Amino acid sequence: MSRFTQNSSRNLFYGGSLFFFFVLIGLTFDTMGGLSKRDHRENITPQVAHGKRIWEANNCVGCHTIMGEGAYFAPELGNVYARRGPDFIKGWIQSQPTGVKGRRQMPQFHLTEEELDAIIAFLKWTGEINNAKWPPNVEG
């Protein structure tokens, strides 16, 4: 009968630690190599940047998530452009609050046509990011 000695325990610990350290390094290089292929920062137009500023100024992330980041009070908007289209998004924002009792209400931000178009451009750009199907939702 073999015994698990102090030396074999130490060797197992150091060997396992070294093995998983190399696994971590390999996964890090794999991830970093793949991120550059998924980047589409060159598609940021002034209108997209303006939409991002409007998104931040109105604290949209305080209620909505975008690509899984933000609050979970209102729907995920990372793929809303593909799901609903620009006309629906613009109409929805303009028609708020709906006044339906028992439903969460989005405030009226009184955005201009230019600001609405910028928000829509930002949501379209966000929806085009290759996020490796994360978050895994279809309908926000």
pLDDT tens sequence across 78-103: 889 999 999 999 999 999 998 889 88
At the top level of CATH, the class of 40-140 is: mainly alpha
- pLDDT at residue 129 above 70? yes
At residue 97, φ and ψ (nearest 5 deg) are: -75, 150
- Report whether 122 contacts 78 (CB < 8 A): no
Give the whole-angstrom CA distance, residue 111 versus residue 113.
7
Give the whole-angstrom CA distance, residue 122 versus residue 137.
19
Q: What is the pTM of this model?
A: 0.74
Average pLDDT over the chain reads 90
* Stretch among 12-16, 36-40, 75-79 having the lowest mean pLDDT: 36-40
CA angle, corner 58, sides to 50 and 120, nearest 5? 45
Mean pLDDT across the stretch 106-134? 92
Q: Strand locations in the chain, DSSP E?
A: 65-66, 69-70
Q: In the chain, where are the structural domains located? A: 1-39, 40-140
